[in-house]
Amino acid sequence: MELRRHRERTGLSLEKVGAVLGWSANTMSRLERGLRPDTTPDEVSALLAVMGVVGADRERVMRMAFGLVEQGWWETNNANMSDQARTYLGFESRASRIVDVEPLLVPGLLQTPEYMHALFIAFGVNKSEIPGRIARRVRRQQLLDRWEPPALVFVVSELALHQPVGGDAVMARQLRHMAEQARRPHVSVRLIPVSVAAHPALRGAYVVLDFADEQPVVFIEGRRSGMFPDDPEEVAEYRQAAEKVADLTLSEEGSRDLLLAIAEGMERAR
């Protein structure tokens, strides 16, 4: 994404930039779409030179290029993951702030294994794949326990929490887990109450990721793939929508109280 931004800023074509390394326009296109993971730091350095990128911008991109060599756990196992999923995990591991807007489900970083299992069954995932998927999602949640974790903001619809995914007992434990996670200083869980009938999050779930020295990106997950809008104007629209939704949510304390109240209601219903 950074390489594409710099290329477009200089007005150079894919063909002209790729020619310095003897690459075709197709190879350059694959690189800019994150489909050429074997790109080396030396190649990135040469491309930056062609585009005239110097100073702090060059240093930032080169840190990213060297970071590609330091693979994460999702790159060093044989997990059956899509390219988009691997790309997202890379972004998630580097983010300084993550805002996750979820109108229908509990956000993945807050899900319990029981809730995950019920979801995967409902989604029609092959039963043989479910243990591996749960293990990977649980491992993702180690992000919350890092020495310097990112700031995490979860905006969730109350309506999604009244659906007893996996049954009342499973959902009650899920809600109590969310309330407990919300006590962490770097975690904010904000609920959109049912009294707010219409809001921007009704258009679908998405995640806004901010970085210390990279441009922000948005992630929109589909059934089998995902999208990463990174145009500054488009990212700004998603950020603005998230801020508008946050203005309609309960306070952090009010959200925790509601989580516990719904959990108690489900426990009484058993």
Among 67, 101, 116, the domain boundary falls at: 67
Q: Are 220 and 119 in the same domain?
A: yes
pLDDT for position 179: 96
Domain check: are 38 and 87 in the same one?
no
| Residue 224 clears pLDDT 70, i.e. is over it | no
Is residue 63, in this structure, part of any structural domain at all?
A: yes
Helix (H, G, I), strand (E, B) or coil at 188: strand
Kindly indicate the confidence band of residue 231, based on its pLDDT and cuts at 50, 70 and 90. confident
Token pair 């990174």 in the structure block, residue = 230
42 or 66, higher pLDDT: 42
Residue 238 and residue 218 in contact, taking contact as beta carbons nearer than 8 Å: yes
Inform me whether the pLDDT recorded for 85 exceeds 70.
Answer: yes
Please report whether residue 72 resides in a domain: no
N-terminal to C-terminal alpha carbon distance within the chain: 50
Residues 61 and 45: their CA atoms lie apart, in Å, by: 9
185 and 58 part of one domain: no
Q: What is the pLDDT of residues 109-139, one digit of tens each?
A: 999 999 999 999 999 999 888 888 888 888 8
113 and 220 co-located in one domain: yes
Instruction: Please report the pLDDT score of residue 172 as a whole number.
Output: 95
Domain boundary pick from 38, 67, 96: 67
Calculated CA dihedral for residues 120, 124, 125, 131, nearest 10 degrees: 40
Domain holding 26, by residue range, is 2-67
Going by their DSSP bridges, the two strands 187-192 and 97-102 should be labelled as unpaired
CATH number for the domain spanning 219: value is 3.30.870
Q: What is the mean pLDDT of residues 208-233?
A: 84
Q: How many CB atoms are located within 10 Å of the residue 158 CB?
A: 18
Is there a single domain that holds both residue 38 and residue 147? no
Asked if residue 172 and residue 132 are part of one domain, the reply reads yes
Beta bridge partners of 157: 192
Residue 235 lies in a domain: yes
What's the CA dihedral at 250, 210, 218, 52 to 10 degrees? 160
What's the structural domain count of the chain? 2
Q: Using the predicted structure, report yes or no on whether residue 153 has a pLDDT greater than 80.
A: yes
Which secondary structure element, helix H or strand E, spans residue 221, and what is its range? strand 217-221
The pLDDT confidence band at residue 79, using thresholds 50, 70 and 90, is: low
The answer on 94 and 62 residing in a single domain is no
Which contacts (CB < 8 Å, 24+ apart) does range 46-51 have? 46/20, 46/21, 47/3, 47/17, 47/20, 47/21, 48/3, 48/6, 49/20, 50/12, 50/16, 50/17, 50/20, 51/6, 51/7, 51/9, 51/10, 51/12, 51/17
Pairing of strands 151-157, 187-192: parallel
> What is the mean predicted confidence (pLDDT) over 189-205?
93
pLDDT tens-place string over residues 9-38: 888 888 888 887 888 888 888 888 777 777
Between 80 and 6, the more confident residue is: 6
76 occurs within a structural domain: no
Q: Both 233 and 200 in a single domain?
A: yes
Q: What is the pLDDT of residues 159-189, one digit of tens each?
A: 999 999 999 999 999 999 999 999 999 999 9
Query: In this predicted structure, what is the pLDDT of residue 264?
Result: 95
Whether residue 75 is contained in a domain is answered as: no
Same domain flag for 123 and 216: yes
Q: What is the CATH number of the domain that holds 42?
A: 1.10.260
Name the pLDDT band for 89 (thresholds 50, 70, 90): confident
pLDDT value, residue 54: 79
Question: How does 159-168 read in b/e, with b if 16+ C-beta sit within 10 Å?
Answer: ebbeebbbee
Backbone angles phi, psi at 210, to 5 degrees: -110, 150
